[in-house]
């Protein structure tokens, strides 16, 4: 169901009317909290593995990211997250920073292996106690918790036992874990995010092998010891959808009436702009979106995968039974969007990339790039993939509104990074005008999508409160509005963007 190819072409032409321009606004416009609708929430986002540290404390079990980060050559700066930014011990301090900024909510993830060290079996009470303390501390400061159940840190025991997300047993084990969280924390937690960026961990973990658990079959296994890049990402995605739907069904039947909460997922979503106005590139941009976002949204809204995926992936794409399709369809209350950047998309008719790699990335028949005719689509942040294109978020919100019937959307992540440059003084590192412009310009476009276009967006979460351990980039990338001094006991220093957010959130 969803769009036919012809409808996709018409829709793409429609979106071309909101023309993307290279670069971003040069002046900060006057918007603030009062510019947004009543009830719109602002917060920051994090994940357990990137923030907590304390990896061997209080009964926490090992995760696939512990294993991956300790494997030679996997992390750019050869670091690991054994300590991260030590929020496990410093959460009261960090909550006060959020309170001082005027933030309404905090999105964090629970480490599955703190609740079930082996992924299943006996509950670890020390883990339950920690998250109870964190939740209660947030509520005491008037900050509402938004909890992500799975932010990539699969218990290593389940990977060892049955290869984790590649086996349907994961659905049962994830369901038990999720229901345990509903039982232990649901009296105070009203917003649940089952998964963070399933597209990312399916592709990066099981196609190209650049993230945990590091499985792939591309380029004659030069990077990975095991895996099948042509099939495993789709199996992982399928099990994620069934896990989410099963958990959402249980929540609605057993907990929602009493706890009055909601369940969603957070997706990584770039906006794709056709490289040219040719029909082929417009179709390619739609396919790129199908293979990124539609992969998960189409089943959740229409009960089946996008037609472009079914036709191009064929028998490698799993099939939902009628009962499974009915379970998955409609199984979310809100759509979380992690949006950072916009790329161009062009048709890949020759499919040379697919011939060389034989992986799922090539199945879309689209090449996505941040340049056209040698010119970047926007100014670049520190990360090689992150180009600043504020107008992209407005286009994306309109796409979701039109294609999926204007569901409730929360921007569950948005932000940009600076490099961790040891030659720059802390004083100079705190001057982050570029970050201020980034958030101002993305928020300005988001506001336009709400007020001018009627998009149903209810919240905006900054990635991130603190500089932190950024997966394969290690500590090389600083996304925080607070600078963390990794050389001096992880002291937190407010960047200029902290004062900007304070003014933004307190102005009327």
Q: What is the CATH number of the domain that holds 213?
A: 3.20.20.80
Tell me if 196 is assigned to some domain: yes
Tell me if 12 is assigned to some domain: no
Tell me if 488 is assigned to some domain: yes
Tell me if 3 is assigned to some domain: no
Q: What is the pLDDT of residues 63-101, one digit of tens each?
A: 999 999 999 999 999 999 999 999 999 999 999 999 999
3-state class (DSSP) for residue 493? strand
Checking if the pLDDT of 241 tops 80, the result is: yes
Predicted pLDDT of residue 18: 47
**φ, ψ dihedrals at 340, nearest 5°:** -130, -35
User: pTM score, two decimals?
Assistant: 0.94
Alpha-carbon separation of residue 453 from 237, 366, 386, 448 (angstroms): 32, 29, 26, 7
Tell me if 18 is assigned to some domain: no
Total structural domains in the chain? Answer: 1
Under the banding of pLDDT at 50, 70 and 90, the label for residue 29 is: low
Tell me if 494 is assigned to some domain: yes
Q: Are 85 and 467 in contact (CB under 8 A)?
A: yes
Predicted pLDDT of residue 351: 56
Under the banding of pLDDT at 50, 70 and 90, the label for residue 223 is: confident
Instruction: List, by residue number, the catalytic residues.
Output: 197, 413
Predicted pLDDT of residue 219: 67
Query: Can you give the residue range of the structural domain that contains 297?
Result: 35-506
Tell me if 45 is assigned to some domain: yes
Q: Are 408 and 334 in contact (CB under 8 A)?
A: yes
Q: What is the pLDDT of residues 393-452, one digit of tens each?
A: 999 999 999 999 999 999 999 999 999 999 999 999 999 999 999 999 999 999 999 999
Q: Are 385 and 416 in contact (CB under 8 A)?
A: no
Q: What is the pLDDT of residues 136-195, one digit of tens each?
A: 999 999 999 999 999 999 999 999 999 999 999 999 999 999 999 999 999 999 999 999
Cis-peptide, bond into residue 208, ω within 30° of zero: no
- Segment 467-491 shows an average pLDDT of 98
Checking if the pLDDT of 230 tops 70, the result is: yes
Under the banding of pLDDT at 50, 70 and 90, the label for residue 273 is: very high
Q: Are 2 and 307 in contact (CB under 8 A)?
A: yes
Tell me if 74 is assigned to some domain: yes
């Amino acid at each position: 169901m969803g769009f036919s190819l012809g409808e996709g072409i018409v829709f793409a032409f429609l979106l071309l009317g909101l023309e993307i321009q290279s670069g971003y606004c040069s002046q900060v416009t006057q918007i603030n909290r009062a510019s947004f609708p009543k009830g719109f929430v602002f917060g920051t986002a994090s994940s357990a593995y990137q923030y907590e540290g304390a990896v061997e404390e209080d009964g926490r079990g090992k995760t696939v990211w512990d294993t991956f980060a300790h494997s030679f050559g996997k992390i750019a700066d050869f670091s690991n997250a054994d300590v991260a930014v030590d929020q496990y011990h410093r959460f009261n301090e960090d909550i006060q920073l959020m309170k001082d900024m005027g933030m309404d909510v905090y999105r964090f993830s629970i480490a599955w292996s703190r609740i079930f060290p082996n992924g299943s079996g006996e509950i670890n009470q020390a883990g339950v106690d920690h998250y109870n303390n964190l939740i209660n501390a947030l509520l005491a400061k008037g900050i509402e918790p938004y909890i992500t159940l799975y932010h990539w840190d699969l218990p290593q025991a389940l990977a060892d036992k049955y290869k984790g997300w590649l086996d349907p047993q994961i659905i049962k084990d994830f369901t038990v874990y999720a229901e345990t969280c509903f039982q232990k924390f649901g009296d105070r937690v009203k917003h649940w995010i089952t998964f963070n960026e399933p597209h990312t961990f399916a592709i990066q973990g099981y196609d190209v092998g650049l993230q945990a658990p590091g499985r792939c079959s591309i380029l004659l296994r030069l990077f990975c010891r095991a895996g099948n890049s042509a099939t495993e990402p789709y199996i992982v995605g399928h099990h994620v959808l069934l896990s989410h739907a099963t958990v959402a069904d249980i929540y609605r039947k057993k907990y929602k009436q009493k706890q009055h909460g909601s369940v969603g997922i957070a997706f990584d979503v770039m906006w794709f702009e056709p490289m040219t106005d040719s029909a082929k590139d417009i179709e390619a941009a739609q396919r790129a979106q199908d293979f990124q976002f539609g992969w998960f949204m189409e089943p959740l809204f229409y009960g089946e995968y996008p037609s472009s995926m079914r036709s191009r992936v064929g028998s490698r794409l799993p099939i939902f039974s009628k009962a499974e399709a009915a379970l998955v369809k409609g199984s979310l209350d809100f759509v979380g969007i992690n949006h950072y950047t916009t790329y161009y998309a062009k048709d890949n008719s020759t499919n040379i990339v697919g011939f060389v790699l034989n992986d799922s990335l090539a199945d879309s028949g689209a090449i996505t790039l941040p340049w056209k005719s040698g010119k970047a689509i926007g100014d670049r942040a520190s990360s090689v993939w992150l180009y600043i294109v504020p107008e992209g978020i407005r286009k994306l919100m309109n796409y979701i509104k039109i294609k999926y019937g204007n569901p409730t959307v929360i921007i569950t992540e948005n932000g940009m990074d600076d490099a961790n440059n040891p030659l720059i003084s802390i004083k100079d590192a705190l001057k982050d005008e570029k970050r201020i412009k980034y958030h101002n310009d993305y928020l300005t476009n988001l506001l336009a999508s709400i007020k001018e276009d009627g998009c149903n967006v209810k919240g905006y979460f900054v990635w991130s409160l603190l500089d932190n351990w950024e997966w394969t980039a290690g500590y090389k990338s600083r996304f925080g509005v607070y600078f963390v001094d990794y050389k001096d006991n992880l002291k937190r220093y407010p960047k200029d963007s902290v004062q900007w957010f304070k003014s933004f959130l307190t102005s009327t």
